[in-house]
Amino acid sequence: MLLETAAAREEGSRSSLSKALALLVVVAERSEKGVGLSSAAARTGLHVATAHRLLGALVDENFLNFDPYTKRYVLGLMPYEIVNRAGPDLEFLQLRKKLRPMLESAQRRLGGIINLSVPSCGEALCIDVIEGRAQILVSTLKVGARRPLGVGAASLALLATHPLASRTQIIAREAERYLKYGHLSATLVTEACTRFLADGYVVNEALIIPDIGALAIPVFEAGAVVCAVSVTNTISHLRCDSRAGIAETLRRAVVDAGFSTEAA
């Protein structure tokens, strides 16, 4: 009885939207074979009656389909329609899918957390985070997070690929926003971009989280920058004498995935 009461309180603290989205994710992960009501409820920590009501609502809105013979739920048409309506953003999903296997391999070798960010609407948009069995559990980026160009290693790598005039204009535009991120400043961003020309990689040295830094490289396809890959780790793992090797590991992963690390 005590456990049931605690579970009910935990379930009650979540919004209906949160519960429905959790159910949608569970079905999506197993959509090939489908998911039964009791399994979906158990995997999301919901009461069976609550899960049944929300699954029914998702079916009504075409997010899910229900097979009355097998009594299992599978993805409906709406999730695919939403992806189709995403237009150019769909390219981000394809980019992530193509790079992920190689980046997972790189993460196992390097440790830390690998992030993948793309240029989007004048900012850097995080589209993937690969943690593996990283010893550090701190990441300032989540999938969907946006940063001004120059904030964070991946965003800095994207900025560094801009021609000098464009880069200078962006840094001037974002100068005030930089001050909100640790010890970052327009001067530090400018210096980091300048070092990129010699090193071929950038390092975020304006620490937002103590003892945590990041190194990143840009990724090109057909001569145009398409994204940047960064690895976040403790400063002890990002020593000056280790940086070239870390960058080379990221470069090999990018090339093995069919991309380039240099503009044509």
What pLDDT digit, counting tens, does each position of 219-241 carry?
999 999 999 999 999 888 889 99
Cα dihedral: 221, 222, 225, 231 (round 10): 20
- What average pLDDT does this structure show over 100-127? 92
The CATH superfamily holding the domain 87-256 is GAF domain (3.30.450.40)
Neighbours of 214 (CB within 10 A): 27
Q: CB 49: neighbour CB atoms within 10 A? A: 10
Query: Cα 60–64–65 angle (5° rounding)?
Result: 85
- State the burial class of residue 231 (Cβ atoms within 10 Å of its Cβ: 0-12, 13-18, 19+): buried
User: Hey, which CATH number is domain 2-82, 3.30.420.40, 1.10.10.10, 1.10.940.10, 3.30.300.30?
Assistant: 1.10.10.10
CA distance 54 to 248: 48
In this predicted structure, the answer to whether residue 133 has a pLDDT above a threshold of 80 is no
84: Cβ contacts below 8 Å, ≥ 6 apart: 90
CATH 3.30.450.40 residue ranges of the chain are: 87-256
Is residue 57 within 8 Å of 20, Cβ to Cβ?
A: yes
Look up residue 45 and give its two tokens. Answer: 């920590």
What's the token pair of residue 149? Answer: 């160009």
Mean pLDDT on 191-210: 86
Give the pLDDT band (50/70/90) at residue 73.
very high
* Structural element, H or E, at residue 28: helix 16-29
pTM assigned to the model: 0.71
Q: Tell me, what's the pLDDT at 5? A: 31
CATH 1.10.10.10 intervals, the chain: 2-82
